[in-house]
Amino acid sequence: MRTAALVLICALSTRAANYYVTVAGLGGLPEYETQFTKWAADLEKQLQANGADTHVVTLSGNAATRQQVQQALGRAAGEVAPGDAFGLFLIGHGTFDGTDYKINLPGPDMTATELAELLNKIPAQRQLVVNMTSASGASIATLAKKDRIVIASTKSGTEKNAPVFARYWVDALRDPAADADKNGTVTALEAFRYTERKTASYFEAEKLLATEHALLTDTAKANAVRDPKPDNGQGILAAAFPILRPQTQVASNVTPEKQKMLTRKQDIEAKIDRLKYQKAALSEDEYKQQLTALLLELARTQAEIDR
């Protein structure tokens, strides 16, 4: 376990590109069509703010067909490098017939099995799938895989109402409150916690019975949880997967040298987050030694940035 963690931490230390594909499926009703398309467009805008090394593909409306999704994920399989990060965001309606989960698309729908087969061909060693459709919980077992974070807006295939999770997921990328540790980066874990909390508050404020309960797993197992933390072993990968980087990293007046240092700072902070999750597997002395070394490295890097 320690060796695997160290390998993954080292992989995070090199600069990588980010590839994201968003699919907004059928709305069924005009108000849903408009809503899903808007959420997809807002999500694209937030992701593109990360800079030139972020590549975003958005499929919505009539363009979100099964064939178009296959082509987009197929292109990603040929363009994405192992050290890059890849994310897939699904918005809309989903169904579960007791056997197969499907996202509703114009024309033939697409199953979780088909999505998993396409995702498995993408060589990125860091993957994120956020399924924000109804019945999305039924896709977790099929999509879960090593080095892949899977988030679903519902706990099972029986939660069939149109989710509001996507609305708050977009908000997580533009609300400073989502950045819980105030380091300027919003990770997948921070976005999940923010969105899950906002979704629960929505049902409470509207005095409605909650019809969606978001879950997360990043352990390659289907035992997704609502509260990822070291005690249950969930959230380790999600805590080290940045979705939104500090705006200073993409500002036009940042020199290439400072850009490298800012990236280095982000990588060190990701290592610290991962180390906190690995604390239980380390001796107290080993944990303190590694943490001290990382904090010193972070301080030196920050001094270079401030110079």
Pick the CATH number of 17-247 from 3.40.50.1820, 3.40.50.1460, 3.40.190.10, 1.10.1740.10: 3.40.50.1460
| CB 135 within 8 Å of CB 98 | no
CA distance 212 to 215: 10
Domain ranges in the chain with CATH number 3.40.50.1460: 17-247
Q: Phi and psi at residue 180, in whole multiples of 5°?
A: -60, -40
State the residue for tokens 């240092």.
261
Angle (CA) 302-306-307 rounded to 5° is 115
Among 297, 306, 245, 274, which residue's Cα sits nearest to residue 46?
A: 245
What are the pLDDT digits (tens) for 43-101? 999 999 888 889 999 999 999 999 999 999 999 999 999 999 999 999 999 999 999 99
pLDDT > 70 in the chain, percent: 89
CA distance 23 to 285: 47
Q: What is the pLDDT of residue 144?
A: 97
Structure tokens of 249? 């990293």
CA distance 63 to 85: 24
Which position has the higher pLDDT, 202 or 192?
192
Q: How far is CA 73 from CA 23, 78, 124, in A?
A: 11, 9, 12
Among 88, 89, 77, 71, which residue's Cα sits nearest to residue 123?
A: 77
Which position has the higher pLDDT, 117 or 222?
117
What are the pLDDT digits (tens) for 204-256? 988 888 999 999 999 999 999 999 988 898 999 999 999 987 554 444 455 77
What is the helix, strand, coil percentage profile of the chain, to 5? 50, 15, 35
Q: What is the DSSP letter of 250?
A: T
Burial label, 297 (beta-carbon count in 10 A; 0-12, 13-18, 19+) = middle
- CA gyration radius, the chain: 19
CA distance 228 to 32: 31
**187-209 as b/e: b if 16+ CB within 10 A:** bbbbbbbbbbebbbebeeeeeee
